[in-house]
């Protein structure tokens, strides 16, 4: 489990968002097989999904999206420079 503080730290250090991956598909042309939900940093190694695609799968509004958290951090970081 990643707390918001931990996710923020990882993002500041690596610029990679940590997000909850609920729609991981097997790659290639095999039969689609959903993996168990898991935490991903950056892009998923298995299906190459990004946080934006995950938000799309979740069919959520921007305010409920996982991406929003990192957009806010991004704004904070710009203020410091
Ligand atoms: Zn995946």
| CA 81 / ligand 1 centre spacing (Å) | 34
CA distances (Å), origin 49, targets 31, 76, 78: 18, 26, 26
Distance between CA atoms of 34 and 37, rounded to whole angstroms?
9
Ligand 1 center to 36 CA (angstroms): 10
Q: What is the DSSP letter of 44?
A: -
pLDDT tens-digit readout, 17-63 = 999 999 887 666 666 667 889 999 999 988 899 999 999 999 999 99
Q: Which residues contact 38 (CB under 8 A, 6 or more apart)?
A: 20, 21, 24
* d(CA 21, ligand 1 centre) in Å: 7
Q: What pLDDT was estimated at residue 30?
A: 66
Q: What is the pLDDT of residue 79?
A: 84
Compute how many other C-beta atoms are within 10 angstroms of the C-beta atom of residue 58.
Answer: 14
């Amino acid at each position: 489990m990643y707390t918001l503080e931990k996710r923020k730290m990882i993002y500041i250090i690596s610029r990679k968002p940590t997000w909850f991956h609920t729609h991981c598909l097997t790659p290639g042309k095999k039969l689609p097989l959903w993996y168990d939900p898991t935490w991903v940093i950056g892009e998923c190694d298995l299906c190459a999904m990004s946080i934006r695609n995950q938000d799309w799968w979740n069919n959520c509004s921007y305010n409920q999206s996982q991406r929003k958290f990192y957009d806010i951090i991004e704004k904070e970081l710009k203020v410091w420079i």
